Amino acid sequence: MAVRSTAAPPTPWSRSLAEPKIHETAFVHSFSNIIGDVYIGANVIVAPGTSIRADEGTPFYIGENTNLQDGVVIHGLEQGRVIGDDDQEYSVWVGKNASITHMALIHGPAYVGDNSFIGFRSTVFNARVGAGCIVMMHALIQDVEIPPGKYVPSGAIITTQQQADRLPDVQDQDQEFAHHVIGINQALRAGYLCAADSKCIAPIRAETAKSYTSNKINVIEIGRSSEVASNSLGAETIDQVRYLLEQGYKIGSEHVDQRRFRTGSWTSCKPIEARTVRDAVAALEACLADHSGEYVRLFGIDPKGKRRVLETIIQRPDGATGSTAFKAPASRSNGSYSSNGNGYSNGAASGKLPAETVQQISQLLAGGYKIGTEHVDERRFRTGSWNSCKPIEAKTTNEVVSALEECIDSHQGEYVRLIGIDPKAKRRILETIIQRPNGQVAPASTQKSVASAPSATATATATSTRLSAEVVDQIRQVLGGGYKLSIEHVDQRRFRTGSWSSTGPIAATSEREAIAAVEASLAEFAGEYVRLIGIDPKAKRRVLEAIIQRP
């Protein structure tokens, strides 16, 4: 496939006639244009319809493993330069492992750091975007420097340094999504290069032709020896194993009986030294067989950071194997991941509290928040006259769980709720009912993230036939706090990568209108995951994320 690249034209400001320098491992589609002094590093993919034109501002630098997707435009003004990571001057510098996605515009002088993500139709002009930043769709970044590791939401206009400095930090799920995009495009680059190489493509075409004449369905995978199946592990667990190995992580497994499960006293299974999915699955199956009737969990280890990046239970005492969708590493605190049996450290469990509530506790503690409890009888519940239980000074999940159970035991027949408190801002960040008068323990889906104590005397009486009372209460609290509501959805396949799609802000002026809009989204995206988002428009951050529908 011929690459369309030409020398820079002679101009009043330059007669160098410089030509592009393209690494031999890069893939540049013939329907893209590269002009002038452009360096394209190793393993870069340049998709169709891309224009990289160093005829005015010059030179350009595109770092290794970066992907420039369809319709991307890179150009630069004749005046103005940025300093690249090599301390040289450039009109445009794009670092390594970056994703410049469909229809984005990078106009020099501009700098985009390593591991950054620039979303669809976003514009970076006369600006620096630091390493590890995530810029979502339709954003404008101009005349500013975005500090490393910042998140720019869709539609944001960042034109003052104060706006840039107040941006929220990137979350782990955002980093995982950006990393996933890199992996996808590297596979595409390899595939396109293979398609243009007769020696590479011929065997695959032969296998494909053979599959059409066979009664069996053959699955051809580039880079994988074959599909892996298991009688005791679900497809989702096999996908987890494959993901961990592809990212360079190590795999381990642990087991625990029902009695010790409550104290989190897990015991390691035989070390897994496997480097292929098939070998790793075989090792996990052996652990399951050796410890039938016990809990068994899979975990991934980052050998560089010496930390766990995933924990998920794959077998329970009743013999059920884990079949939950893939979970990327949970939120981060102080540079480390925390996980319990389903994503947070401290393998605490409780006979009175569901695993989801224990996860919330671990997450709050990992984030440096304090925890409290409150109770109220049915008569006073309507007026919001909650009373505090004994203060919780505990700093471990097990101790906090014990304190919560003590509060529940002391107030049987009443409502009991868990409180998360930000000690620095002196405000509540979470309220979730964990017991009701009928003795029912509420799941984590009843959580309410708030910026201040909610108004318990809300007069709105809107109800819903599709939404639970807890979700209606969440909507009431978000609106009561002056926040905006939004809906995101994702199908089962994309749920693994956290590729949520937003329906945009809900333009509701009343609780009733907001409920109607949420119900409409549930109906529109039946069969998908749907989550409710609360947004603080001033701080430009999320105050609530709650899944309200599952497939």
- Local structure of residue 444 (DSSP, 8 states): G
| Cα–Cα dist 518/330, whole Å | 26
Q: What does the CA dihedral 77, 82, 87, 88 come to, rounded to 10 degrees?
A: 10
Residues 6+ positions from 237 with CB-CB distance below 8 Å: 230, 284, 298, 312, 314, 321, 322, 323
Catalytic site positions: 56
| Cα–Cα dist 170/191, whole Å | 31
Annotate 350-389 with DSSP letters as a single string: -SSS-HHHHHHHHHHHHTT-EEEEEEE-HHHHTTT--EE-
Please state the three-class secondary structure of 295-355 as a single string.
Answer: EEEEEEEECCCCEEEEEEEEECCCCCECCCCCCCCCCEECCEECCCCCCCCCCCCCCCCCH
Q: Taking CA 111 as the corner, what is the angle to CA 109 and CA 117, rounded to the nearest 5 degrees?
A: 130
Q: Alpha-carbon torsion 465, 466, 471, 477, what sign? A: negative
Strand-pairing partners, residue 46, are 28, 68
